[in-house]
Each structure stands twice: as C-alpha cells, then as structure tokens.
Amino acid sequence: MTKPYPDLSPARHWNSWQSEFPAQMMHLPLGLTVSVAAYSGAKNSFTDFPANKGQLTYGPRDVTGRQIGFTARHADTMFDWCWDQPVEGAIRGAWAAKDYGEWGLRFWLMPVFGVTGRDDISWRFDPATGVLTSVIDGQHVAAIGDAIPLMATFHDSRQALAEEFEREGYFFLGSRGTQGRVPALRYNLDETPRMRFAVAVAATAAEALNCAKAALAAPEPADLPAHQSLDAIRDIVGWNSVHDFINDWPYMSLSRTWVAQKFGGFGLWLDDIFYHALASSLLNADMARENIRAVLDRETPEGNLACLLTGRDSWIDRSQLPVCSLVLWKIWQHTGADDLIELGYKKLLRNHDWWFSHRDGKKQGLMGWGTSASVGDGLYKGTKLGAKNESTMDNSPLHDDTIFDPVSGCLDAADVGLNSILVVDAEVLASWAKSLGDQATADRLLTRANALRARIGAELWDDSRQIFANRRWSGDFVRALAPTSCYPLLADAADDRQQQGVVAVLSDPKKFGGKWRLPSITRDDPGYHDNVYWRGRVWPPLNYLTYQGLKRAGLDDMAQELAADSGEIFKSAWARRQCPENFSAETGLGDDQPDTDLFYGWGALMPIIAVNEVVDVTPWHGWELTNQPGDWQIGPLNAFNGRKTVIAAKDGRLTLTLDGRAVFATDIAGRFRHIDIADGRLSFEPPLAGGRIFLNGSAQRVSYGGSVITPRQIGGETVIDLPKVASRQLCGIEGLS
C-alpha cells in the first residue's frame, strides 16, 4: 500500500532518504531504492557505500535532493557520481572514473534496485534493450541507460549480492537472469568509465519508459554554486536531511553516521534540531517546519522539552539550553510562517516555566543543571553525568568541581549561560504572548526576565577576575571559564564595566583569544589540553551565541572579528568537505582526534555566522544588513518574512533585492539596523558615517533624526544624502514608487 505522505510534494519524493546509505536514492512513497554498489576483483571486496565507512566525499547538492554530487572511493578506485532530477518523476544517475586501483575490467559498478520492507516485488530485464521494469502498488517503474549492462543479476537482497561476490568472485554467472527480486545492473570501468542511466515512476509502463528516456536525454544541469557561505549551508542541510522510518517523518539528522549506528534509527538532540531548523529555514520553510515538528512532537510529563529522543532511549528527565524560543523567533522572521508560533509557543512556554520549578536547586532564584530522578528511565538519569548532559557541555571542566545533589537533582552551581539564555527565552515568549493578546503572561515573563537579569549582574559577576562565572551554592565561583561567561551580553545583563571585562577575556590570548577560537574552556585551564569534546575544543554553538551577544551589546567590531575567526576555522575544514562537530583550538583541525564527527549538523552554525554578518534578524535590532568591503553576493535566501532575498556588493555599493525587485542600494559602509519594508515605505537605522541611499523609484518624503532631507535625481536614480551623525537615528522614506 503506497504511503500518502500528504505533506510531501511530488517534487520531493526522490531523495537520499536512508540515513545509513547517503549514495542511495529512494522514492519515498513507494519505498523504491536505487543503490550505488561496487566490487573490486583485486581486493575481493563489495560495498554499497554505507555512511559509517567513510568512502564518500560529499559534494554540492540541493537541499531537497534534486541535484546531488559526491566522490566515491573503493579499494583504491575513485569515481565521481551525480544524481539529478531533470524530469518530474524521474532521477538520473551518472558516474565518471577518476583513479583506478586495478584494471577497470575487474571493477564492477552497479545500480542495485529494491523496495524497502517488501519481498513481493518482481523486476524484469530485457537483455536486448537494457530496460529494467517493475510494478509497485500500481505504479510502473522503468530504468534505462546510455549503455546496455554487461549483465543483470538477481538476488534476494543486497546482502546476498555482497556474499555472492565475496564467495564467487568476479566471473561468476550463476545469478545472471531476466527476472527476480533485487536486480543489479552490472557495468565495469573498462567498458563504461563514464555512464548515465535514468529511473522513472509513472502510471503506465509506456509513460514510465518515456519519462526515463526523457530524463536520460535532458541537458546536463549547471553546476551548483559553491563559493558563498550559504552554499555550504545548503550542502550541510541537504546531506544530513533524511527520513525517520520509525516515526515516519523527514528531518535533518545530527549526522548520517549517528542515526542507525548510534541511535537505532533516529536521534533528536533538542538544541541541535532547532539549529538545524534555523539552517533549513534560510532555504526551505517546509524543511524547517518538519524539524520543529519532529523535536516538539513528544511532550514530557513535567513539561520540559526532552534532552534526547532516539530509537533506543529517551532522556526526558533532563532538557537542554533553552535557546529554542530565540531560534524559532528567527525562523519565523525568515520564513514569515505565522503557524510556527502556534506550533511552538505553548510548548516553549511550558518548558520555560519548568526551569524555574525544577532547576532552582537551592531556591535562590538562579538555575543550574540537573536531572529529574522520578521521570522516565533514560540512561544516566539521577546521576551527575545526567545533569551534565543537560548543559550539552557534558565533559566540560565547568562541572569538574561541582557536586551532584540527589535531593534536588541538581549540580550545586548556578550556571551563568543557562540563566542568561533564560532571560532571552522570557523576552521572546513575552513578545509572542503580547501579540496573542495575553498581556498578563507577557508582563509575568518580562518581570521575571528583568529580575533574573539583575541577579546575573549582581551575583554571577566575579569582581576579582572581572568576568561572569558559574557560582557554587557555597558562594565560591567555579574556577573554570567557558564562552558561556559571555552570554550575559546576549541577555543585556552586563553594565559598561562588566562589558569591558568580557571584552578583555575574549581578547586575551591566554583566555579566549588566539588564532583558532573560541576554545570551549580558557587556554590556561588545566583541562584545555585534553583536547577532547568540551575540554578545549571549538564548538559552533558557543561561537554562535557569543557572536549574537556581541551584536546585542553593540560590540560590532568584536562581532565582526569573531565572525571572521569562525569563518576561517570552518573554511579550513570545508576545503576538504568536512563540517566538523568541533575543532582543535590549537590547529583548527576537526579530524585530529577520533571523537569528532566530520559532517555534523550544527557545524552549519559557522557559515550561518558568516551569513549573519551580512543579513540577520534579532528581537533587539530587527532586520540588519551590513555593507562589507569587496565584491560578493549572499542569496537567494529566505529573509524579510519569507521573501526571496539577495544581497550583493560591488565597488562599495550594497544592493538589497526582494522577490526580484531592488529595494534600495547604499554606499554607506557598516551595519544597518531596524530595517522595515512595507508598501510605499522604507525605514532603517544607518551607520553613523553618512553617505548615500539609492532608490530606483521616487520618494515623497525623507526624514532622518527629525530633519527632512530633499532627495536628488541622478541618472534615473533617486539619491538620498545622509549626513554623518553622533548616534544612531531612524531614517524614514515614505511615498515610494
């Protein structure tokens, strides 16, 4: 019976849905799979390129799988492979040999066909035409290639095919045939070093064959762009987006190597999936929504959002850093999808209140990490390790000196990062409550945010070290410092003197300064040189939240510097098509030790920082654009409430284009804030330096800081001259045509 998948458009039916087989394409409603398989005669070795073997280098790909490229390696032979979808309902595969580890005659390369979970589907092969056909739940399938395969063999499974090769070798012909369950179309690299084939699904046999032929004959697609940060985000989102066959929904996985091998079919770290939704939202609102639904689907008995949900375990006794409201707010602004508020608001509000009722272990008004011993049966429940898990920074030196209190279920320390993010959480939820007409809840949340903000400034500031720090219930400050000591900037909890202290620690090469940053613990901490996970390594979420905090505090120069550093460490890995889970703070490498996944979802936060240096939206500064030096382009991406946005700079002039129409251009360098675009009206806070704004149409009225400015007409453009000012002021342009 064909699955309906009502939320999945036909254009998304084909994709590399199975997490453990990234080279494979699947037609999701039919369960039809087309796998890439290879056999080396020299090594007597078969592979179907599982994710955990490290045989693939992930190339550029569309987020929804309409165009996919990768390089595959097996037994010293290397080839490039491409998938594309030139005709609706069809896919086209193509390979080209690059390096030979043996005589190409002895190296079989094969598309292998199957239907997941079915043993009642039969295939037929016509040796005269090379056409392979089948019928699945009334839908006809046809496959045809540029060349007729040397033979088609039929098997009970791909595993049976692998066993036959390794038992019988290259020349065995016993499985050659014209009909069976799992066909393999066999080509060797001597006869076909380059090859294309197409597979189509249609209502009739003739339509399927004609569709496959049309796909095969279609022009080759243009190469996907691969030069901007947004292209890296596209590839990361695309490669890690899979289908969860246990819960039956698509989502962006943590990493293809984690899903089946570590987590038994699916895995949802709370914060990770929200960050994945943010990355997806820049390119595809539906994919962002799918991630949010997946992670919010299961509510816990106590009201918290679960730390981890997998096919093997559920850590509902603990949660994770409550960044979800802020991230969802940003997704909402990028996509313009108002339904996201309805989807998340009530659950996020329950989660917010849960922290204050379950993680104030000393009843002092400051929260710490913990685990609720009476909830669920997750691994490490009721232990110090479980409480450390809640922080996401589970082996951080921040926790070395803390003690787990089994009565409260909390570590005996107030965490500066947690309390700072709770302030932001309250602010965002209050804005939604107000928009929904619930002023009482908005007032309650803002009162809580203001009180907690004041306590952070007064009680989590270590005056002797001039930095924010975690504080034990005994009153002593925790010795170790992480970038979370910068999060009070994000909560607007630091006064001018405290800001200066944070800036000094961020810049100090013995602390968080230096070439590769931000280290997850200061460089002078005894745990820094352990260089394992949160003991010294650079982590994208720490950079991302610190960057956002610097911008909220108005420290744009430092934010720009951190963005550049984040971009440099990411590019050094991305040059080898790696998106590491974390990086060495000494060398910048992700692959210098074995505990780092090299294509991990939240690694996309590093190029997101680069994108945010050009375009971003925050609850405190609204929409922002930054005119940076050089000639560059960001976009198209979703921004300004779901509009297709392109920002380009050339010869010092930045141009904002929405839905194909240029809105304005400027030669003013620096960051614009509070950009508001409505019918016939444009407003923003420009940088202080002054300069020109360019409009394609006319403007009836321009005001800046209380003064009226008369536009000029130059060469068909309306030019607005903004003077240099001492403080940020709003520029309003009305009567646009």
Residue range 255-271: average pLDDT?
92
What is the rounded CA–CA span in Å between residue 476 and residue 38?
Answer: 61
Residue range 195-213: average pLDDT?
98
- Over 50: is that where the pLDDT of 3 sits? no
Largest CA distance in the chain: 88
Burial (CB < 10 A; 0-12, 13-18, 19+), residue 677, is middle
- Over 50: is that where the pLDDT of 238 sits? yes
Which one-letter amino acid corresponds to residue 506?
A: L
Residues 304-315: pLDDT tens digits? Answer: 999 999 999 999
Residue range 275-289: average pLDDT?
98
What is the rounded CA–CA span in Å between residue 536 and residue 583?
Answer: 9
What is the rounded CA–CA span in Å between residue 291 and residue 63?
Answer: 14
Residue range 577-606: average pLDDT?
97
Whole-number pLDDT of residue 297: 84
Burial (CB < 10 A; 0-12, 13-18, 19+), residue 721, is middle
Whole-number pLDDT of residue 301: 85
Burial 442-475 (b: 16+ CB within 10 A, else e): bebbbebbeebbebbbebbbbeeeebbbbbbbee
Give every CB contact of residue 54 below 8 A, 6+ residues apart in sequence. Answer: none
Residue range 210-230: average pLDDT?
96
Q: In whole angstroms, how far apart are CA 114 and each of 30, 121, 182? A: 10, 8, 5
Number of Cβ within a 10 Å radius of residue 661:
9
681-685/712-714 β-pairing: unpaired
Burial 612-648 (b: 16+ CB within 10 A, else e): bbbbbbbbebbbbbbbbeeeebbbbbbbbbbbebbbb
Residue 471: pLDDT band (50, 70, 90) is very high
Q: What are phi and psi of 409, to 5 degrees?
A: 75, 20
Share of the chain above pLDDT 70, in %: 99
Residue range 506-525: average pLDDT?
98
Residues 74-91: pLDDT tens digits? Answer: 999 999 999 999 999 999
Residue 5: pLDDT band (50, 70, 90) is low
Q: In whole angstroms, how far apart are CA 712 and each of 284, 682, 702? A: 40, 17, 11
Residues 667-723: pLDDT tens digits? Answer: 999 999 999 999 899 999 999 999 999 999 899 999 998 899 999 999 889 999 999
Whole-number pLDDT of residue 299: 77
Whole-number pLDDT of residue 706: 87
- Number of helices (H) and strands (E), helices first, in the chain? 15, 41
Q: In whole angstroms, how far apart are CA 670 and each of 84, 607, 616, 692, 711? A: 40, 20, 14, 13, 22
Residue 737: pLDDT band (50, 70, 90) is confident
In degrees, rounded to 5, the angle at the alpha carbon of residue 370 between the alpha carbons of residues 367 and 373 is 135
Residue 560: pLDDT band (50, 70, 90) is very high
691-695/661-666 β-pairing: antiparallel
Q: Which of 46, 47, 68, 42 minimizes the C-alpha distance to 57?
A: 68
Q: In whole angstroms, how far apart are CA 312 and each of 260, 393, 460? A: 10, 22, 38
**β-strand partners of 656:** 647, 664
What is the rounded CA–CA span in Å between residue 223 and residue 226?
Answer: 9
Residue range 140-162: average pLDDT?
98
Across the chain, mean pLDDT equals: 96
Whole-number pLDDT of residue 6: 55
Query: What is the DSSP code (8-state) at residue 524?
Result: T
Residue range 178-194: average pLDDT?
98
- Over 70: is that where the pLDDT of 586 sits? yes
Residue range 467-493: average pLDDT?
98
Whole-number pLDDT of residue 66: 97
Q: Where are the beta strands (DSSP E) in 167-279?
A: 179-180, 182-188, 194-202, 241-244, 249-252, 267-269
- Over 90: is that where the pLDDT of 318 sits? yes
* Residue 275 near residue 605 (C-beta atoms within 8 A): yes
Whole-number pLDDT of residue 166: 95
Whole-number pLDDT of residue 260: 77
Please tell me whether the overall predicted TM-score, pTM, comes out greater than 0.85 for this model: yes
Residue range 376-404: average pLDDT?
97
**β-strand partners of 141:** 134, 201
Question: Could you write out the DSSP letters of every residue in 128-152?
Answer: TTTEEEEEETTEEEEEEESS--SEE
* Residue position matching structure tokens 């914060």: 271
Query: Mean pLDDT lowest for which of 39-48, 254-263, 716-725, 726-735?
Result: 254-263
